[in-house]
Amino acid sequence: MEKIVERFISYAKINTQSDESSKTCPTTRGQLELAHRVMDEMQRIGLDDVAVDKNGYLTATLPGNIKTNVPVIGFIAHFDTSPEFTGEGVNPQIVEFTGKDITLNKKDNIILSPDRFPLLKNYTGQQIITTDGNTLLGADDKAGIAEIITAMEFLKEHPEIPHGKIRIGFTPDEEIGRGADRFDVQAFGAEFAYTVDGSGIGELEYENFNAAKAKITINGLNVHPGYSKDKMKNSILIAMELNHMLPASEIPQHTENYEGFFHLLGISGSVERTTTDYIIRDHDRERFEMRKKLLAKSIDYLNLKYGEQTVDLEMMDQYYNMKEKILPVFHVVDLALKAIQAAGITPKTIPIRGGTDGSKLSYMDLPCPNLFGGGHNFHSRYEFIPVRSMEKAVEVIVNIAKMNAEEHTTSVSSPVHQ
């Protein structure tokens, strides 16, 4: 416990927020700083082939300790934290949670309350790591990194546990959708992998959103408001009109489970020119395509109403539902379910209401479901992670490695019955 807590807290203190406006890879220097710190740590543990490439991708190998050839497994996590909330000056706190409100910041009266966040009640009597109320924590996904490294160190120190070759990969810029863009799947050399990038204890995810983003520019016409009748074209009002044309109930705060949405991320402008940014999400591919068509047709209508080139749309797909790639190799899910159960945890298979590196990697021929990391309330000042959940994530990773070896060793050595 002390080792994984110390490891995670040291990672959390490094600001690794990604930056969508940057054209470099990684997009921020803090990610490289963490990559090199983790690289040094992996070398001290005694892993092989430890290297950080020019783009900030860190890979390493734990060699197998059995003679039987078994599928090479990968474990993957990401360095960056969300650009949506500050990661500068992270000051983690270890709290014995008694079931009552936790004061994160006494000065500003910032409270982490089980009344507001009922999931907290599941961890009564446990140690949890929180923020000091001023930043995010970074459990997404520095917990995943700490858990993978701790599991590899445990396997290194316990050679009696059988396992095949294991590959480790840590990526930059996952939070802005670029984590898998420069990942060399062929060089990684795993038959399948798991991202350790999920939330609460026991969760296993092999479904995620289909995703697109849209940047919309509205060109207006400004005239003195006292003399603007039949002349002014207020781009702000047209942007509002467009938003009202989309289903009012199909937004993040009104949807759950498999329900998709349109999400207005930002709006800025003036009478003359306004820009808006949306993300479009749906688990079902057909409904996803219908959502994109609805947005496009709404803009066509506004251009018909207000004149050609009033509204300009730039829309691009970001990632797709990994389920399409996981179902044909469902044994990778079955293996993880057994590993979770062996750790004394009830598995929870739920759809991801977002995406992971695993979704893109699955479409790059590396099937990659998502394992829990243990954290909650990601991307916010109320983020927290129970220490026991981190320990159990380590145990599940070790179980996957062990069971993969045992299953294939048994299948090779057992006689074939006709």
Q: Which residues contact 178 (CB under 8 A, 6 or more apart)?
A: 18, 25, 27, 172
* Known catalytic residue at 80: yes
Q: Phi, psi (5° rounding) for residue 14? A: -90, 125
End-to-end CA, the chain = 49
Taking only Cα atoms into account, the Rg of the chain, rounded to an integer number of angstroms, comes to 24
Half-sphere CA count of 178, side-chain side, radius 13 A = 22
Catalytic entry in 41, 141, 147, 174: 174
CA dihedral angle for residue 289, residue 290, residue 295, residue 296, rounded to 10 degrees: 70
Catalytic entry in 80, 197, 207, 357: 80
* Alpha-carbon distances of 300 from 157, 163, 292, 313, 322, rounded to whole Å: 63, 57, 12, 10, 32
Question: Which residue type is seen at 252?
Answer: P
Q: What sign does the CA torsion over 313, 317, 318, 323 have?
A: positive
Give exposure, 224-243, as e/b (b: 16+ Cβ within 10 Å): eeeeeeeebbbbbebbebbb
Question: Which residue type is seen at 58?
Answer: L
* Known catalytic residue at 174: yes
Half-sphere CA count of 45, side-chain side, radius 13 A = 27
Q: What is the DSSP letter of 100?
A: S
Name the nearest CA neighbour of 302 among 239, 249, 246: 239
Q: Angle 122-125-131 (CA atoms, 0-180°, nearest 5)?
A: 75
Active-site residue list:
80, 174
